[in-house]
Structure 1
Amino acid sequence: MEAAIEAVGLSRSFAGVPAVRDANLRVAPGEITALVGPNGSGKTTLMLMLATLLRPDSGAVRIGGHDAVTDARAARAALGWMPDTLGAWPTLTVRETILAVCGMYGLSGAAAAARTGEMLALAGLEALADQRSNTLSRGQKQRLSLARALVHGPRVLLLDEPASGLDPEARLTQRRMLADLAARGVAVLVTSHVLDELEEVAANVVFLRDGRTEAQEDVDAALRQSTQWRLRALDEAALDAALGRRGIPATRRTSIGGAFHTVEVANDDEAAALLAALVAEGVRIVDFGPAAGALEQAFVQLAHRAVDPPTPAPDTPTPANPEVAP
């Protein structure tokens, strides 16, 4: 199957300082892929190149089967772009903003009005339709930004921090929306610092560090290495005693759900063996699982893995940069 989003050997520098270096990624139709990495790793620069808004120094980008450099118009017609911050037209209402975007994609009259109504409903903005966009809250602007990105029914969706500013209910709604879009064949690439959100919705992960994409086998291995696990038993004393007999140090913590213990294990096999041994010994375990999400633990492991000292890489281009792609 041809990739809906594909980057091969992408590189970009600013004033001689590399921001992205030989980055590679592939997203198939119907897949949701997370792009993660530390601050300053080059995620926004990479997303801007994928969105045809920044010309790469080298490498190739294809969006929806189109070369994003030599055929940017066709690539843009295939993609929906949601930036981290909504660039709103302050004098336009929410409805007028969506109507204006409809016009950019060739929709007018009754067709534009109907599509605007659909987008208002989809984003939960019907009650705010006649409010000026510059008066919206951060979360409301995020919903408007996503509605704008979906106006033309794109086959590719690029989302930069889409859940920022959303309340829990809105985040749940957004996750369901993305899952529905993927089920209809839309390829989604999403960045976020809320890793548990990404873990719930994404099927694949691309890790970017110092402008380079990590080898997929290294990412997959890190995702399997959940080293810190939490345990909760009906009898804390029995759990303490059983762990002590095995020489396993544990830390007791308290959360909203009650007291629990955390232990270090090498991998999933060791965790499964520990659980089996505790149950066989009669310890009544009621909660057992990774202390943090697999993606969060993989992020920490990959971000702190030893590398050669990097050259500082800005995560965003300077606004005055004249080399933005036409």
Structure 2
Amino acid sequence: MNPATPFPIGTPGKPWGTAEKAEWRSRQVVRRSYQQEVVEPIKKLRDHFDVLQYGQLDYAPDQFPLYAVRSRDWDDTLPTALVTGGVHGYETSGVQGALQFLRQHAADYAGRYNLLIAPCISPWGYERIQRWNADAVDPNRSFHADSPAQESAALMQLVAPLDGQVLVHIDLHETTDSDESEFRPALAARDGVPYEPDGIPDGFYLVGDSENPQPAFQQAVIAEVAKVTHIAPADGNGQIIGSPVVAPGVINYTVKRSGLCAGVTNATFTTTTEVYPDSPRATPQQCNDAQVAAVRAALDYALAQG
């Protein structure tokens, strides 16, 4: 989007109200099927895992059941690992990578972890290839008390009983060209602030927690992902998406204070993956494989710490 071109919804400099949000929602169209691409693959896992519905989104006239997959032989003496995908519904490899991990590798951790995996937290957004939910709210800024996002509130309720038990949480995301062409301009318009163009990093990177950075953990994940796809370099300012690069392919955010999904537990080891699916150097399958490599590296590193 040309920054000189006003966003097609709302008045520049004025935050959206109910009418503008309704207009934005009316423009969102279904482009793929949550039922076919997510729910049906989850149901096929029932022979080996417990599948539970942990909530339901109500966006009239649509309703979306929310599913999580967990280890069948749950053992409270084992550490718990949480894997989340599709917090931003448009980030395809986060969803499909979580499902691929379940199919191909989750069984390898039987007797070593209790696994809890929520592959698609935002199915309304998944179907519309959209970052926000139907209320024009970003679920990945909404993991806090009195959350305005149904998606975030449901996941928080799911994991609340596990307080103190989660050793590792990896949240699977993407950074796409559409962040710059569509989603950042929409955010600026919604909030009534000027749109400030930024670049899109070419490659995979991680977002750690600035209050619990675990640098060796982050680097262990980067090392494994680098075997699958390329790692994003720092820009000319030594940054990735406006944040200082603290190690190759790693930046840090204030995860809990920002309401990010990676802060939904008090896990010792947490990270957010960012795959770049629009790179000419990466295929969709490589993107899924990178997510799987990140999950495996995170789980293996945390286990190795004793």
TM-score by length of 1: 0.30
TM-score by length of 2: 0.31
More strand by share: 1
Larger C-alpha radius of gyration, 1 or 2? 1
